């Protein structure tokens, strides 16, 4: 896959063999110093398909920002296959869906994590109507409140192809990061995802090429 010459920039390439904080620090650095810095407070992380590395990127990016001294909240909006609660443990009943259903207050769904400065909102019980919940006014209320209390809100979402959830969430965010598994996503698919995000009025702030092996990564330098 050739390196795209037009924006958005490929922020970085994450090597399977160097899943270190250094890689995520440079991703963070690139976002910090991109043109979008002043307006990027809510970032949706998505991809074309499952398994490309959305959750891994969301988690590590959140940790990298927290380690930099930012007040960060990681929100699991993948209501189809949530996984942030697996990484952080804790009570899996109260989360985003209980807030969106107006059964829990914001304080009840925000939990401190074992990483200083990083709070977590897990997905909660899987609802029958994820897209509608994510599109609700209550979701806007949550994002507005979180923006008041945190420097950065990182949002994990389902894949873009075949589901509207990620587009709904991305359209409410300041920016969206697209995670692309190297060698897996066809050009046609990649374009479709980009077009769909643009149609949803999401602002694509970058593409993360994930799971590049060291050999291939050398080809890029
Ligand atoms: N850069 C990487 N190097 C090696 N393995 C990775 C990398 N990114 C993700 N993975 C692995 O790939 C699998 C899918 O990643 P995950 O973040 O859960 O994807 P998604 O959230 O997009 O479905 C997981 O087993 C994860 O550990
Ligand atoms: Mg995931």
Per-residue pLDDT tens for 128-165? Answer: 999 999 999 999 999 999 999 999 999 999 999 989 99
Check residues 26 and 208 and name the one with the higher pLDDT: 208
pLDDT grade for 221, boundaries at 50, 70 and 90: very low
pLDDT grade for 182, boundaries at 50, 70 and 90: confident
Q: What is the pLDDT of residue 13?
A: 52
Q: How many whole angstroms from 84 Cα to the centroid of ligand 2?
A: 8
Gap between the Cα atoms of 161 and 158, Å rounded: 9
Confidence check: pLDDT of 93 > 50: yes
Atom of ligand 1 nearest to the CA of 17: 3
**Spatial contact of 188 and 196, defined as CB atoms under 8 Å apart:** no
Confidence check: pLDDT of 7 > 60: no
Write the residue with the smallest CA distance to atom 25 of ligand 1. 51
- φ, ψ at 66 (rounded to 5°): -60, -40
Q: What is the pLDDT of residue 2?
A: 38
Q: How many whole angstroms from 50 Cα to the centroid of ligand 2?
A: 7
Atom of ligand 1 nearest to the CA of 210: 1
Which residues are CB-neighbours of 37 under 8 A, at least 6 positions away? 31
Q: What is the pLDDT of residue 214?
A: 52
Q: How many whole angstroms from 55 Cα to the centroid of ligand 1?
A: 7
Gap between the Cα atoms of 101 and 14, Å rounded: 37
Confidence check: pLDDT of 216 > 70: no
Confidence check: pLDDT of 217 > 50: no
pTM comes to 0.88
Q: How many whole angstroms from 16 Cα to the centroid of ligand 1?
A: 9
Write the residue with the smallest CA distance to atom 13 of ligand 1. 51
């Amino acid at each position: 896959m050739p390196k795209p010459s037009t924006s958005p920039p490929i922020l970085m390439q994450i090597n399977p063999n160097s899943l270190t904080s250094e890689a995520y620090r440079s991703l963070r650095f690139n976002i910090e110093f991109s043109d979008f810095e002043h307006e990027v407070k809510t970032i949706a992380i998505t991809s074309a398909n499952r398994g490309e590395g959305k959750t891994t990127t969301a988690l590590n990016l959140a940790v990298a920002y927290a380690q930099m001294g930012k007040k960060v909240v990681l929100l699991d909006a993948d209501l189809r296959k949530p996984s942030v609660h697996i990484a952080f443990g804790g009570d899996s009943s109260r989360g985003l869906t209980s807030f969106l259903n107006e059964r829990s207050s914001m304080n009840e769904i925000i939990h401190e994590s074992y990483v200083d400065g990083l709070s977590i909102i897990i997905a909660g019980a899987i609802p029958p109507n994820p897209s509608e919940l994510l599109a609700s006014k209550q979701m806007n209320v949550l994002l507005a409140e979180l923006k008041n209390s945190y420097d950065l809100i990182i949002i994990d979402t389902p894949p873009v192809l075949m589901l509207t959830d990620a587009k709904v969430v991305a359209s409410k965010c300041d920016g969206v990061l697209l995670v692309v598994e190297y060698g897996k996503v066809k050009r046609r698919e990649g374009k479709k995802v980009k077009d769909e995000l643009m149609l949803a009025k999401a602002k694509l702030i970058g593409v993360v090429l994930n799971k590049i092996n060291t050999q291939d990564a050398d080809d890029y330098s």
